A and B are shown apart, each in its own frame.
Chain A
């Protein structure tokens, strides 16, 4: 718990770290370790002869790890690369470089056949419960697919297991023969959860699992995910743009911006004493369901939008929007490291980290 995110620098492999952190969990307590993962999508142009003219740098040198039974929250805006990163971890798309180590085994770019047994242990839950379920298939068949594909159960045994799963996630097992359209949004997301749970995976990657749901239903699904984690010792990689949801479910959090992690660490220090100006801006922008908090808050309004990942800014990728940016930010890329006064687990990639009590909103107003 005390070292949920490992941010090993690029040039020193994790095995021979010179300063072993005594509080760090032993190697076999880490279920997922991602090392320097890079994912570029080539951009092609030209008519007959397609040539690569650039790369969408969706994920650029991301390292982190998730201990068993814990939840790592991954936050960031549209285009920050969080979903691409999730797909790399799940092995759904090959990585450009870097390594994904799952349960002590390197699963980077495995062949389809070699990946198959691993897939049983890594499952995904998607955002949209309307488009992630085939509308023409019955719920029993949808949830039972994993059993068929991995040949673990068939016939009556399969039906029994599916109904058990349905009951576990709070669906009526008698609705086995219904179609997805006969369920509400929250129930559909439960179907997605049941399907992910079918093969008793170790890791579940939740990609915005509650953002399409109404508030009251959202809380039901979050509670369900929490119960399942406790009962089955599940590990979650939880992707969301809602910072309060992430704070609620996660043990630790990583903030992504334009394909890179800008800050990560256990929940309390990152939310309480965040050091990266982007984290600060993100937290100040999140709407609080409390009028007094909303009125008292000094919101940092970032100018402009997230730049294109095809041609990301030089140096620190946040510098064009950063209220604290100076010349060095445009030329030199800051490394993820623990800043003075922070625990070793709380790392920030910034040349001018935010100090305690510093008023970024006022600084911004003064600068404008």
Chain B
């Protein structure tokens, strides 16, 4: 039994220009002590997805189910949600400066949150707990820093304070929305290290939303790649990185400059993500995809297991064996394109992909 089980979640926003279909039928589960990485570019729906779980998307049309500890989060009233948010599920946002109130002391903000959920805690107890939490997340001299204002903290320390606040009520699940994006590499490493350590201590479930595949490679157990409001691929971490099935996942991995392809031309995904108001027909990725089959234009694929264990899921019409970055998978894809679109298309395709195999397989 998962801690959180999301089924067919759909979120859309009516606007004057039309309905923005931000999330379209996403399902996933999160287990205690495990980390789900949600990867996607701007506008893929990854943030809307998790904010909807916490009732932070007013005005949205929501359907589906999100069962957390036996209750459907989507049916909670605002008052009930307030009991869950912060206490059972807490959130760490990207920008710690805008998430902290500039005019209140850090310690006050942490103890206020503790007292808002449990009135029986005295001010002194809450203050002491704030000091303890700040020390726990690695703030030096927490007994003194607890009385600092947010501007007296550096970016990394603010993010630590946010994590301290997220931990204050011992939540069962933490949603971290790009928690390290605004931070420098060495500080990012500190924060990821801290999150991993805290998770091991408390067996908290973690949902890590990020656009950075490097962060996911570090921290996630399972990865869900989102594109245009849907899960394109969902699999254990190693499958996503070493045997991606969906051309979008493959494209993302190949877009990253890495040591193996140094100095060579990168192979970006052509074009840009679609408008969520005016989505393309069929598979939403087909206008940017190099492996388009006829049915991609009309039928939208849904996640299906592509391996025997059922853990590796992909929403793509390509055959199951087409997973991977190796030459064999590439030949199979070329074969598919040849069957569907004739010899000329296949030749162009092969010249583009197999011709530079060295950098692909690297």
Contact = CB atoms under 8 A, between A and B. Distances in A.
B255 A282 contact: no
A77 B256 contact: no
Interface residues of A, number: 43
B154 interface: yes
Interface stretch (A25-33, A49-57, A286-294): A286-294
A294 B214 CA distance: 8
Interface stretch (B60-68, B73-81, B263-271): B263-271
Given A220-B268, A247-B259, A294 B193 contact: no
A302 B258 contact: no
A290 B255 contact: no
Nearest to B272: A184
Contacts of B217: 287-291, 293-294
Q: What DSSP secondary structure best describes chain A's contact surface?
A: helix
Given A215-B255, A287-B212, A294 B218 contact: yes
Interface in B172-191: 184-190
A241 B185 contact: yes
Nearest to A288: B214
A289 B193 contact: no
Contacts of B266: 219, 222-223, 248
Contacts of B241: 289-291
A214 B41 contact: yes
A127 interface: no
A78 B241 CA distance: 30
Contacts, number: 124
Interface in B133-159: 140, 154-157
A244 B272 CA distance: 22
Contact of B252 (A216, A223, A284, A285): A216
Interface of A: 77-78, 184-187, 214-220, 222-223, 226, 241, 243-245, 247-249, 267, 271, 281-282, 284-291, 293-294, 299, 301-302, 304-306
A271 B41 CA distance: 29
Interface of B: 41-42, 140, 154-157, 184-190, 192-193, 211-218, 237-238, 241-242, 251-259, 261-263, 265-270, 272-273
A289 B253 contact: yes
Contacts of A301: 186, 189-190, 193
Given A291-B238, A305-B187, 19 more contacts: A77-B184, A214-B41, A214-B211, A216-B252, A218-B255, A219-B257, A241-B185, A244-B257, A244-B258, A248-B266, A286-B185, A289-B241, A289-B253, A289-B256, A290-B241, A291-B241, A293-B217, A301-B193, A305-B157
Report, nearest first, the 10 A-B pairs whose CB atoms are least far apart. A287-B214, A219-B268, A248-B257, A285-B189, A214-B41, A77-B184, A219-B255, A216-B269, A219-B266, A289-B213
Nearest to A222: B266
A132 B251 CA distance: 29
A285 B214 contact: no
